Amino acid sequence: MPNIGIVGAGVAGLHLGLFLRKHDIPVTIHTERVVAELADGPLPNAVVHHAPTLDRERRLDVGFWPVEEYGYSCHHYYVGGPQPMFFSGDLDRWSSAVDYRLYLPRLAEAFENRGGRVELGVLGAEDVDRLGARYDLVVVAAGRGAFASLFPRRDELSPYRAPQRRLCVGLYHGITPATPNGLAFNISPQHGELVEMPIYSRHGHVTGLLFENVPGGDLEVLSDLSYRDDPTAFHRTVLDRLARHYPRTFERVDPARFGLTDPRDLLQGTVTPAVRQDYARLSDGTFALAVGDAHAVLDPLLGQGANIASHSAWVAGEAIVEDVGFDELFCRRVAARRSDVVLGAAHWTNLMLAPPEEHLLGFIAAMAEHKAVADAFTNNVGHPDRQWRILATPDRTRAFLAHHDRLRAATAVTA
């Protein structure tokens, strides 16, 4: 029976820990602070879990927030500009968002109840190196760059050297949910995007607003404003920018009730996307496998980061259970198996952050025109490998749309 050490108690670390405990494998999670303390802290992010992640949660017996109650069934798309487009796409299988300050402590509790060990302590790259002596495999599932020296950045997969958006993420009262209840993905060309999501927090069902602001654009101010210095000015500016850039969300705002659910429920910052090496050999010969943020940091625009972290944890868990060695052969197998999904998510996100390419604009126009195309795009949010196969090149997008044209023609004939 191998003994596995995990660094990091985020979604990747906890999903992997729970997976291993389900197979009675000894596992210790090393984390810098008591996960339960997250509950009272500041908003760490605003994360959507797609159907494959929710499947994994059910199989790990941590499906505490069933989609029927906590989830949503569709995406509403709005693309601004001289001729705004508004359309929607349905999810065959629902998604949901639960505040990680509720989510992670509940999973950490389940992990410990099921025999998982948690060790507290501040960890740097040199500490990870020392962990090699204690475990058959060290899985690094934390970091956002802290373990950069361990897992060098892969330049060929990391086109950006700087953040492409400045973020302003908050939880709000006073926004009536869209009908049907869904995630609203809004684009304000040249200025940024707004992802509006139904999210469950300690205040119940509220609204998450993830403003993705292009540096230098009209929305960037949202990432600079201090809520604590002047809450009124903050709310006024958010409403002003909603009205100007995101009218489909603004029209559902009740100004009398509108406001952050709590001063702590706001996060402003930036992310520089990067894909790093899959694994490293520690000084004593033990291997360290990167999952989650240690492996791939994505801009949150498309809600992929947590889902690919969970996917990566699951792939690693399966590989651990079926293997007898945790060497380079093992690490390469994990890398090969997860690459489709992880790199698909990274490439797709990077494409959507860039000034829009012709074929992407054509695809969005096709979504607006044909519900089946919008549905396909919407469902592929849970399958970034499939999404990337459609959007990777103009030829691929053309072939996909031609396929849909033929399907429609065939349906018209038989109807």
Rule CB under 8 A: which residues touch a copy of itself?
322-325, 327, 329, 333, 336-337, 339-340, 386, 388-390, 392-393, 395-396, 399-400, 403
**Residue 127: how many CA atoms within 13 Å on its side-chain side?**
16
CB 359 to a copy of itself: min, Å: 12
Q: Which is nearer to a copy of itself, 65 or 287 (CB)?
A: 287
For the bound state, the minimum distance from the C-beta of residue 402 to a copy of itself, rounded and expressed in Å, comes to 9
Whose CA is closest to 140, among 315, 6, 3, 339? 6
Q: Which of helix, strand or coil describes residue 295?
A: coil
Q: Which is nearer to a copy of itself, 119 or 328 (CB)?
A: 328
| Burial group, residue 300, by CB count within 10 angstroms (0-12, 13-18, 19+) | buried
The residue (of 270 and 339) whose beta carbon lies closer to a copy of itself is: 339
Q: Terminus-to-terminus CA distance in the chain, angstroms?
A: 59
Q: How far is the CB of 392 from a copy of itself (least distance, A)?
A: 5
Decide whether 201 or 349 has the Cβ nearer to a copy of itself. 349
For a copy of itself, give the closer residue by CB, 361 or 402. Answer: 402
Q: Which is nearer to a copy of itself, 272 or 339 (CB)?
A: 339
Question: 347 with 160: CB under 8 angstroms?
Answer: no
**Least distance (Å) between residue 333 CB and a copy of itself:** 6
> If we measure between CA atoms, which residue out of 177, 184, 176, 198 comes closest to residue 254?
176
Q: How far is the CB of 386 from a copy of itself (least distance, A)?
A: 8
The smaller minimum CB distance to a copy of itself, of residues 101 and 338, is found at 338
Measured from the CB of residue 389, what is the shortest distance to a copy of itself in angstroms? 6
CA neighbor of 303 nearest in space, from 51, 36, 115: 51
> Considering the complex, what minimum distance in angstroms separates the CB of residue 331 from a copy of itself?
13
Q: How far is the CB of 137 from a copy of itself (least distance, A)?
A: 12
Asked whether the bond before 180 is cis by omega within 30 degrees of 0, the reply is: yes
**Cβ contacts of 131 within 8 Å, gap of 6 or more:** 5, 7, 30, 138, 282, 286
- Burial label for 44, CB within 10 Å (0-12, 13-18, 19+), is middle
Largest Cα span, the chain: 68
CA-to-CA separations, 355 to 40, 358, 360, 397, in angstroms, rounded:
38, 10, 10, 17
| Residue 203 C-beta: closest distance to a copy of itself, Å | 42
Indicate the SS3 state at residue 109.
helix
Q: Which is nearer to a copy of itself, 85 or 392 (CB)?
A: 392
The CA distance from 26 to 21, in Å, is 7
Alpha helices by DSSP H, 7-82: 11-22, 51-59, 67-70
Nearer to a copy of itself, 157 or 267 (CB): 157
